[in-house]
Amino acid sequence: MRDAPQAVGPAPRPLAALFWMVCASALFAAMGVFTRLAARDVPWSEVAAARALLGAAVAVAVARARRAPLAVHDQKTAWARSICGTGAMICTFYTLGAPAIALGDAVTLGATSPIFIALLSPRLLGEASGKGIWIPSAVAFVGAALVAGPRFHLAGSLAVVALLGAVFSALAMIWLRRLSSGQSGAARETPEAIVAHFSLVAGVAMTAIALPVLKVPDARGALLLVATGMSGALAQIAMTRAYALDRAARVGSASYLGVVMSHAASALVLGEPTSPLGAVGAACVILAGLALTALAVHETRPPQASGRPSPAGESGSA
């Protein structure tokens, strides 16, 4: 049996990673609302294609503004990340666009992705998930399920597609961590380069799927497609920064906050009410997030001096 790869790269910065993940969650929540509104007028595949192609344009624009390079050095890992990310995008937009599945069910099934990250990252990245991460992760998932209010009145094939999307997403995030942290041994890729590569690959795939059912949107629909692409691209850049700064399992667990944000945005913008059970779920997610933050602070705190003199101190030499 081959040993797991050893994690290398810069020291983790979990609090900075949490900040970027909160930003990404807020932007993904906005993207979800724009997607739901746009999908009322055009097919789901067209929304996904617009999100990917506009995402590539935003990534290139941000790179030019920051003078960040767009070259991708580790082509093998970049393609693995982009292909898995494209698979996740197809599954996600397909389930969100299917009337036979409730939004809460789709979000809940997609929220299993961080569990797959925690299971796979020790083997694929050589990163321990952390002793205390499993309890907050479990609480966060329960909270996400309560917030989403799942009924699971859906065809088995849709459930399989949603879960497959969660697995694809987990693999994409693991390869993203490997790319953005320099664990592959190649030069660290910029977030803009990673997002541009993924968006172009996904854009080509989604355009091919959308062409047979393409529909010209009106002015409102076009504006929603642009908003979907821009918010999605900025969310991808923020998420890429987060995965560059900390272990994949802990960053993935923080993404549960996005479930609460998505449903809060749905209630405020789309008029979907939040049940008392959903409020309890939101509290679970918030408590889990606070626990993950406390773990991050504890693990980055420098070790306390034991008070026992070191051999060098006993000899009086440095």
Instruction: Reply yes or no on whether the pLDDT at 56 is more than 80.
Output: yes
Q: Over range 279-290, report the average pLDDT.
A: 72
Name the token pair of 202. 């996904």
pLDDT digits (tens, 9 = 90+) for 82-129: 999 999 999 988 887 776 666 666 676 777 777 777 777 777 777 665
The percentage of the chain sitting over the pLDDT mark of 90, rounded to a whole number, equals 19
What is residue 308's predicted lDDT score, i.e. its pLDDT? Answer: 47
What is residue 3's predicted lDDT score, i.e. its pLDDT? Answer: 43
Q: Over range 154-163, report the average pLDDT.
A: 72
Distance CA 89, CA 63 (A): 23
Judged by average pLDDT, the poorest of 72-81, 208-217, 272-281 is 272-281
Instruction: Reply yes or no on whether the pLDDT at 260 is more than 90.
Output: no
HEC string of 10-34 equals CCCCHHHHHHHHHHHHHHHHHHHHH
Distance CA 278, CA 260 (A): 9
What is residue 89's predicted lDDT score, i.e. its pLDDT? Answer: 93
What is residue 159's predicted lDDT score, i.e. its pLDDT? Answer: 72
HEC string of 51-102 equals HHHHHHHHHHHHHHHHCCCCCCCCHHHHHHHHHHHHHHHHHHHHHHHCCCCC
What is residue 309's predicted lDDT score, i.e. its pLDDT? Answer: 46
Q: What residue ranges in the chain does DSSP mark as E strands? A: none
Q: Are residues 45 and 209 in contact, defined by beta-carbon separation less than 8 angstroms? A: yes
Distance CA 288, CA 252 (A): 13
Q: To the nearest 5 percent, what fractions of the chain are helix, strand and coil?
A: 75, 0, 25
Phi, psi of 146 (to 5 degrees): -70, -40
Judged by average pLDDT, the poorest of 14-23, 32-41, 96-105, 133-142 is 96-105
pLDDT digits (tens, 9 = 90+) for 169-215: 989 988 888 887 665 555 577 888 888 999 999 999 999 999 999 89
Confidence of residue 224 (pLDDT cuts 50, 70, 90): very high
Q: Are residues 123 and 4 in contact, defined by beta-carbon separation less than 8 angstroms? A: yes
Q: Over range 272-283, report the average pLDDT.
A: 70
Confidence of residue 299 (pLDDT cuts 50, 70, 90): low
Q: Over range 66-71, report the average pLDDT.
A: 88
Whether pTM > 0.85 for this model: the answer is: no
pLDDT digits (tens, 9 = 90+) for 233-249: 888 888 888 888 877 76
What is residue 249's predicted lDDT score, i.e. its pLDDT? Answer: 67
Upper half-sphere CA count for residue 172 (Cβ side, 13 Å): 24
| Count of C-beta atoms within a 10 Å radius of residue 123 | 13
Distance CA 227, CA 55 (A): 10
The helix (run of H) or strand (run of E) holding residue 214 is: none
What is residue 190's predicted lDDT score, i.e. its pLDDT? Answer: 85
